[in-house]
Amino acid sequence: MTRPQRNADREERISMEIVVDAYDPEEQAMGWYYYLADTMQFPFTATCIQKRKTSPIKLNQTVKVVGMADGDDCERDMLVEIDWGEGDRLSIPLTQISAVPGTDEDTQEAIADWHYWIDSGYQFS
């Protein structure tokens, strides 16, 4: 995968709002978790943009995202919960989905921020 072109505005937002004052991987993960939980407007509809061996959703499948996964589950990757069957929920990686057109701008931007951070090679370090 090729790295995205550097986006100064996004880099500034990430460093000054999301991982500011984060001195270790856990604090970076917490910064991302709370930014995403506070910024994304749940529920929203998303489409699978990436097949993963650890996730049963299929490429181009549409899902209803209902919230963030538990914080303890997001120490290494940001996971969101989707409706899955009859009242069940399933946690999937946020990198696996993209909000459908028409989703509010803040939610789209938050998802794009996370995708950018991951695609740029950043990680909790």
The predicted pLDDT at position 115 comes to 97
Structure token digits, residue 83:
């409706």
DSSP, residue by residue, 43-105: SEEEEE-S--TT--PPTT-EEEEEEEPPGGGGSSS-EEEEE-SSS-EEEEEGGGEEEPTTS-H
Single pTM value for the model: 0.93
In whole angstroms, what is the distance from residue 28 CA to residue 98 CA? Answer: 22
The predicted pLDDT at position 1 comes to 61
Structure token digits, residue 101:
């057109």
In whole angstroms, what is the distance from residue 97 CA to residue 66 CA? Answer: 13
The predicted pLDDT at position 90 comes to 97
Query: What structural domains and CATH numbers belong to the chain?
Result: 8-119 (2.30.30.530)
Per-residue pLDDT of the chain (125 residues; tens, 9 = 90+): 678 999 999 999 999 999 999 989 999 999 999 999 999 999 999 999 999 998 999 999 999 999 999 999 999 999 999 999 888 999 999 999 999 999 999 999 999 999 999 999 998 86
